[in-house]
């Protein structure tokens, strides 16, 4: 509990001073909370003495009592306001910075990081875990610190009048602290299981929503929903266990404090009867006994929530410790945009995908890569964009090893059109503008026309301002691919990667897009992965991949003259393109 509190204080970084000021105002608020009780005891003592004719009270005293109470009430609310002003916003400010920081980290890590950490874990860290901090970090820290500051101040006041009562309070807090320790220890174990169950639930829901079309198509709604039900069941079980474990320790924590309060009243009552304490002091002690532990009683919630936050902090720190793929790289301008693979080998975990491949792509030329599925074509593109780092060999852009380039510097020189297009839940305009944020409307329309998507965009309900669904779900596959192509055309980078860019384009528009690609490729280094002959036959170089190795290399004419995989591939494509219904 206190270990987590220290981590939270360190987590606030440069805002520690505001946090400490908040603790000071919390202490002053506590003192102003105790003053009315002490003041009431003082004025009660005066009234008792007046009733015994020991002194004669002045009418002005009532006015002073009223002024005293007003000052105390105003002071209490003032310091409460100052404490909240200094402390409450810290968590929101820091969490906002942390989300941006994690976003920057995720942008710079290898895609292998996402293979090892599922979507639920990452989403849970950025949303749920950080939301726990946002809502509770400062509140629980203030509750914990404020409670014991409050108790210490009250015990000091009691000790001034009766050290026996102060000792009883210390024993009560010590006893409650033992059960808080047990509560905190149990909560820590449960928090780890809770986080795992929560991430599994998030993953199950995301997978169900993403795969809903497949679920419906195969009529497996029941099977798919069962996975979510199992996740909900696990989540429910751990939540119930947390509550049951919480109840026992919390009850003992409360019991220790209540027994201490009763003991204070009994001891001070006996001392008053025996003449060791004045009656006003006893009354003050009795009132104090109920106020004394009012804030310490709330520490149970803080102890439990602190452990949830510690587990969340561990996951967030795990993400923050992820190695940047370009942490040793620098921003560097490039003058040459040829591409070179030198003895490159790569695999996903133990599965080898590329085996010692080497090739050169001169600047301003087009190279097509063909081969059967799983031969490593897309992996070549992913390695050039440095989504992953090679296991062996090196990849050069110009004369520079891409591992020496910062990712921003590398990718600013590359435009990519993926086989599986992703569009953001935003307008068509902003999806195209993503390739060049500062682009004018005229530039965007020009790029859209080159990609043969201007006409269908104009027919959308709001034209370029039409919002597409998440992933572009409101558009057809061909429409999404053409918007993605427009995005790449707009970026106008010196290196172009087209991964099956024309795969979903209808025959009527294919030749128009081929013309657009030809115009786009002028003076640029281009890598094309395609199965359509029209896309690859004009390439200056064709690489034929099979089982992660380059088995043929040359132009279309050179390769078609050889009795190899490329010739068989062309024959099959010609048969497929010539096939029609009788």
pLDDT digits (tens, 9 = 90+) for 445-454: 998 888 888 8
Q: What angle is formed at CA 231 by the lines to CA 234 and CA 244, rounded to 5 degrees?
A: 20
- For residue 133, pLDDT over 60 is answered with yes
Say which residue the tokens 């810290």 belong to.
Answer: 90
Distances (CA, A) of 298 to 301, 369, 408: 6, 66, 49
DSSP label at residue 297: G
Predicted confidence at residue 101, as pLDDT, reads 86
How sure is the predictor about 393, in pLDDT bands with cuts at 50, 70 and 90? very high
How many Å apart are CA 86 and CA 259, to the nearest integer?
36
Whole-number pLDDT of residue 18: 86
- Enumerate the β-bridge partners of residue 370: 544
* Confidence (pLDDT) at 442: 93
CB contact at 8 A, 21 and 86? yes
416 strand-pairing partners: 497
- 3-state secondary structure at position 539: coil
Is residue 441 pLDDT above 90, yes or no?
yes
* Cα distance between the two ends of the chain: 77
Tell me: pLDDT of 129 over 90: no
Q: Residue 341 forms beta bridges with which residues?
A: 359, 395
φ, ψ (nearest 5 deg) of residue 552:
-145, 150
In sequence order, what are the residues at sequence separation of 6 or more whose Cβ sits closer than 8 angstroms to the Cβ of residue 135?
Answer: 91
- pLDDT for the residue 581: 41
CA 263 – CA 257 distance, rounded (Å): 10
Q: Could you tell me the two tokens for 438?
A: 């500062």
Per-residue pLDDT band for 56 (boundaries 50, 70, 90) equals: low
Residue 220 confidence class, pLDDT cut points 50, 70, 90: low
pLDDT at 577: 58
Q: What share of the chain is helix, strand, coil (3-state, %, to 5)?
A: 65, 10, 20
Burial 449-487 (b: 16+ CB within 10 A, else e): bbbbbbebbeebeeebeebbeeebebbeebbbbbbbbbb
Q: Beta-carbon neighbour count of residue 76 at 10 Å?
A: 19
Residue 341 pLDDT > 90: yes
Q: Is 7 helix (H, G, I), strand (E, B) or coil?
A: helix
pLDDT one-digit tens code per residue, 455-466: 889 989 999 999
Least confident of 15-29, 146-160, 354-368, 546-560: 146-160
Q: State residue 223's pLDDT score.
A: 63
pLDDT over 90, % of the chain: 13
- Alpha helices for 321-439 (secondary structure H): 377-384, 407-411, 428-433
Domains and CATH numbers, the chain: 1-321 (1.20.1560.10), 339-578 (3.40.50.300)
**Centroid of chain to Cα 128:** 8
Most confident of 173-182, 186-195, 427-436, 502-511: 427-436
Q: From CA 550, how far away is CA 567, in angstroms rounded?
A: 15
Look at residue 390 and give its three-state secondary structure: coil
Mean pLDDT of 37-49: 69
Can you give the pLDDT at residue 580? 45
pLDDT band for 545, please (50, 70, 90 cuts).
very high
- In this prediction, residue 65 carries a pLDDT of 77
Does the structure show a pLDDT above 50 at 477? yes
Higher pLDDT, 54 or 329: 329
Average pLDDT over residues 326-335: 76
pLDDT value of position 512: 62
For residue 189, give the nearest of 135, 249, 148, 131 by alpha carbon. Answer: 249
Confidence at 55, pLDDT banded by 50, 70, 90: low
**Which pLDDT does position 394 carry in this prediction?**
93
What mean pLDDT is reported for the chain?
81
Q: How large is the average pLDDT for residues 73-93? A: 86
- Stretch 324-338: mean pLDDT: 79
* Per-residue confidence (pLDDT) for residue 396, from 0 to 100: 93
The residue with greater pLDDT, 267 or 219, is 267
Please tell me which of 203-212, 327-336, 548-557 the model is most confident about, judged by mean pLDDT.
548-557
Distance CA(157)–CA(164), nearest Å, equals: 12
- Per DSSP, the residues of 421-481 read ----SSBHHHHHHTT-TT--HHHHHHHHHHTT-HHHHHTSTTGGGPBPPGGGTTS-HHHHH
Angle formed by the axes of helices 130-161 and 2-11, to 10°? 120
Average pLDDT (528-543) is: 82
pLDDT at 505: 61
In the predicted structure, residue 474 carries a pLDDT above the cut 70: yes
**pLDDT, tens digit, 9 for 90 and up, residues 261-311:** 889 889 888 888 888 888 777 877 777 777 777 778 778 777 777 777 777
Output the pLDDT for position 4.
Answer: 76
pLDDT in tens, 104-128: 888 878 777 777 777 777 777 787 7
């Amino acid at each position: 509990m206190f270990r987590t509190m220290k981590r939270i204080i360190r987590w606030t970084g440069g805002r520690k001073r505001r946090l400490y000021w908040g603790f000071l105002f919390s202490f002053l608020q506590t003192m102003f909370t105790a003053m009315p009780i002490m003041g009431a005891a003082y004025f009660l003592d005066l009234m008792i003495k007046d009733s015994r004719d020991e002194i004669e009270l002045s009418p002005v005293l009532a006015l002073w009592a009223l002024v005293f109470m007003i000052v105390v009430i105003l002071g209490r609310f003032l310091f409460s306001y100052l404490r909240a002003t200094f402390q409450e916003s810290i968590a929101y400010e820091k969490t906002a910075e942390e989300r941006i920081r994690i976003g920057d980290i995720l942008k710079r890590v290898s895609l292998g990081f996402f293979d090892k950490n599922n979507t639920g874990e990452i989403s849970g860290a950025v949303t749920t875990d950080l939301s726990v901090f946002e809502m509770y970090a400062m509140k629980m820290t203030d509750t914990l610190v404020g409670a014991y500051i409050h108790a210490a101040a009250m015990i000091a006041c009691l000790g001034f009048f009766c050290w026996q009562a102060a000792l009883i309070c210390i024993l009560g807090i010590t006893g409650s602290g033992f059960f808080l320790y047990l509560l905190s220890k149990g909560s820590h174990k449960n928090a780890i299981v809770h986080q795992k169950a929560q991430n599994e639930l998030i993953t199950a829901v995301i997978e169900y929503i993403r795969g809903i079309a497949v679920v419906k198509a195969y009529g497996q709604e029941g099977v798919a929903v069962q996975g979510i039900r199992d996740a909900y069941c696990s989540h429910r079980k751990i939540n119930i266990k947390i509550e049951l474990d919480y109840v026992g320790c919390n009850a003992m924590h409360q019991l220790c404090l209540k027994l201490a309060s009763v003991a204070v009243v009994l001891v001070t009552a006996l001392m008053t009867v025996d003449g060791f304490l004045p009656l006003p002091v006893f009354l003050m002690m009795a009132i104090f006994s109920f106020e004394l532990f009012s804030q310490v009683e709330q520490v149970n919630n803080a102890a439990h929530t602190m452990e949830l936050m510690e587990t969340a902090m561990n996951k967030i720190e795990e993400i923050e410790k992820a190695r940047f793929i370009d942490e040793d790289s620098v921003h560097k301008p490039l003058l040459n945009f040829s591409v070179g693979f030198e003895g490159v080998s790569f695999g996903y975990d133990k599965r080898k995908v590329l085996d010692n491949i080497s090739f050169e792509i001169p600047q301003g030329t087009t190279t097509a890569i063909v081969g059967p599925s799983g031969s490593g074509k897309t992996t070549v593109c992913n390695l050039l964009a440095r989504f992953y780092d090679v296991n062996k060999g090196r990849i050069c852009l110009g004369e520079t090893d891409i591992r020496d380039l910062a990712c921003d510097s590398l990718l600013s020189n590359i435009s990519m059109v993926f086989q599986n297009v992703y569009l953001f839940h935003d307008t068509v305009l902003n999806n195209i503008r993503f390739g060049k944020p500062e682009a004018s409307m005229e530039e965007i329309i020009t790029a859209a026309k080159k990609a043969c998507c201007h006409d269908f965009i104009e027919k959308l309900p709001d034209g370029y301002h039409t919002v597409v669904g998440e992933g572009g779900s409101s558009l057809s596959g061909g429409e999404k691919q053409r918007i993605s192509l427009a995005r790449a055309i707009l970026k106008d980078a010196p290196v172009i990667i087209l991964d099956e860019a024309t795969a979903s384009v209808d025959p009527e528009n294919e030749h128009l897009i081929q013309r657009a690609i030809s115009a786009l490729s002028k003076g640029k280094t281009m890598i094309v992965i395609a199965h359509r002959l029209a896309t690859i036959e004009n390439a200056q170089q064709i690489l034929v991949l099979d089982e992660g190795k380059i088995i043929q290399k040359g132009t279309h004419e050179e390769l078609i003259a050889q009795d190899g995989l490329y010739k068989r591939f062309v024959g099959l494509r010609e048969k497929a393109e010539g096939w029609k219904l009788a």
